[in-house]
Amino acid sequence: MTRKRRRSGKTVPKKSNAAGLTALALCFTRRLQLQAPPPVVDVAGEPPGGPSTAAAANLVFSPVSVYAALALLAAGARGSTLQELLDALGGDSRDDLTAFAGRAGERALADRSRSRSRAGAVGGPAVAFACGAWLDAAWALLPAFRDAAAAASYNAEARAVDFGNQPAEKAVGEINRCVAAATNNHIDSILDPSSVDTLTTLVLCSAIYFKGRWEAPFAKAHTVVDKFHRLDGSTADVPFMSSVRSQYIAIRKGYKLLKLPYRSPAAPAPAPRRKGATPSESNRPTGDGGDDDDDDPAPKYSMCIFLPDERDGLPGLVEKIASGAGFWHYRLPTSQVPVGAFRLPKFKVSASGSVREVLRDGMGIKSAFVAGEADLADMAAKRDDDEDAARTPLCVSDVCHKAVLEVNEGGTVANGATASYMLCGASAIMEQPATVDFVADHPFVFFVIEEVSRAIIFVGRIVDPSVSG
């Protein structure tokens, strides 16, 4: 006998914004799998001993900014296109998406460089972030989209670019100059001329610059050169930061977790108010705990490193993280422990490319990328005097991503374009010994987070720190 499920009104819970951001994070985390090389990223540099492949390369992503770019897209979407975005990102409406993206941006992506730390030192993380929609000039942006919806998503804007009637180099140059200006020239480009052609109608880009200082910097005099063990069994001589200071370390089943706090401001920096938003709306907290929190504690930035116990344990660890539905913040180490051997490699990793396939195949956002199926009628209208607009339906040609992250004794310098978000799966905490060794001399996963809002700013993997760039 077939059992029928009775439905009465809304019996299936709607995915929340936080759940949507979690899903986006896990989707990007899966792209760290070595068995499934992500087609979205080109990694600069070749490891010693042979050419690099995407399946065995360092990778980095960044998802709060991807969410912001997609929220911007949703502000102009209707019908099935909007519904796919709502299903993927959560929320009951497009206003919900843009408001959540705005609050997350104000919390995790506001510049704190002029604030003072809890110890009185000047300078929390320096952050420059912007995202935008670049539309072909054959289409006229609707005032409501430009002035209201676009401004609702954190630091977002919409601009016209003549893809159809000028060389690709010129159109791309306009976009790259906007990105450079928004990030104080820390990111000088996000697109190359091959990214667009005369049929391009809409490109989404998101850029972030992040520079953090460790709460407790490493002494350069203690940096030593040692062996890093690659997955293929070969080794590379790389500089390792070392310390005898107690660290935030937790022992889990199959891996260890290190948290390195950045210098954080003593009080939240005043966030730039979004156009049309009241002061109370602009400063609402963004944590997964909901929007009803009355307090607004100071942000706390950290880098967290998942180190598998086995030298070849990265694939299994990534699978565990990507499949886990638990919340990472419950599993972060909360107290410092004395260390025995402690070594962490210096590294620089970069990646750039399109995240269109990730969003289409991993998040179910499909119609926005298909000419004739994308419904972006609330974003722009055909110009009456442009016949080409009638022949070229408006759709998203690409969503572009770029990220560069460097870890050294003083802290982290990160440049990114588009974002990523990651959650860790549930694991039992193992009994903690008197001292803990943490020697990251084999491949590991890392992420940069803002703990209060639970926003993950960067996530990536390091398989060979000797490859720079």
pLDDT (mean) for 377-387: 80
Does 52 or 123 have the greater pLDDT score? 123
At 296, is the secondary structure helix, strand, or coil?
A: coil
CA distances from 50 to 3, 59, 195, 212, 462 (A): 59, 18, 28, 33, 17
Q: Which of 27, 291, 281, 305 is nearest to 154 (CA)?
A: 281
Percent with pLDDT over 70 in the chain:
74
Give the count of beta carbons closer than 10 Å to the beta carbon of residue 122.
Answer: 11
* Predicted pLDDT of residue 310: 96
CB contact at 8 A, 461 and 318:
yes
At 446, is the secondary structure helix, strand, or coil?
A: strand
400-418 as b/e, with b when 16 or more CB fall inside 10 Å?
bbbbbbbbbbebbbbbbbb
At 211, is the secondary structure helix, strand, or coil?
A: strand
pLDDT (mean) for 117-140: 76
* Predicted pLDDT of residue 88: 92
With 0-12 CB in 10 A as exposed, 13-18 as middle and 19+ as buried, what is 423? buried
Computed over every residue of the chain, the mean pLDDT equals: 77
* Predicted pLDDT of residue 165: 87
Read off the pLDDT of residues 72-128 as tens digits, 9 standing for 90 and up. 899 999 999 999 999 999 888 888 888 888 777 777 777 777 765 555 555 677 777
Note the pTM of the prediction, 2 decimals: 0.78
* Predicted pLDDT of residue 250: 93
Residue 404, pLDDT > 60, answer yes
At 456, is the secondary structure helix, strand, or coil?
A: strand
Q: Which of 171, 209, 206 is nearest to 192 (CA)?
A: 171
Q: Output helix, strand, coil percentages for the chain, rounded to the nearest 5.
A: 25, 30, 45
Give the count of beta carbons closer than 10 Å to the beta carbon of residue 297.
Answer: 12
Which residues, 6 or more positions from 319, have their beta carbon under 8 angstroms from its beta carbon?
Answer: 33
49 pLDDT tier (thresholds 50, 70, 90): very low
Domains of the chain as residue ranges with CATH: 17-32+57-213+350-407 (3.30.497.10)
- Phi then psi for residue 465, to 5 deg, are -70, -10
CA distances from 283 to 68, 250, 302 (A): 17, 33, 22
- Phi then psi for residue 330, to 5 deg, are -75, -15
Q: How far apart are CA 229 and CA 235, in angstroms?
A: 5
pLDDT (mean) for 322-326: 69
- The encoded tokens of residue 88 equal 């993927």
CB contact at 8 A, 432 and 337:
yes
DSSP for 115-149, written as a single string? SBBTTS-B---EEEEEEEEEEETTEEEPHHIIIII
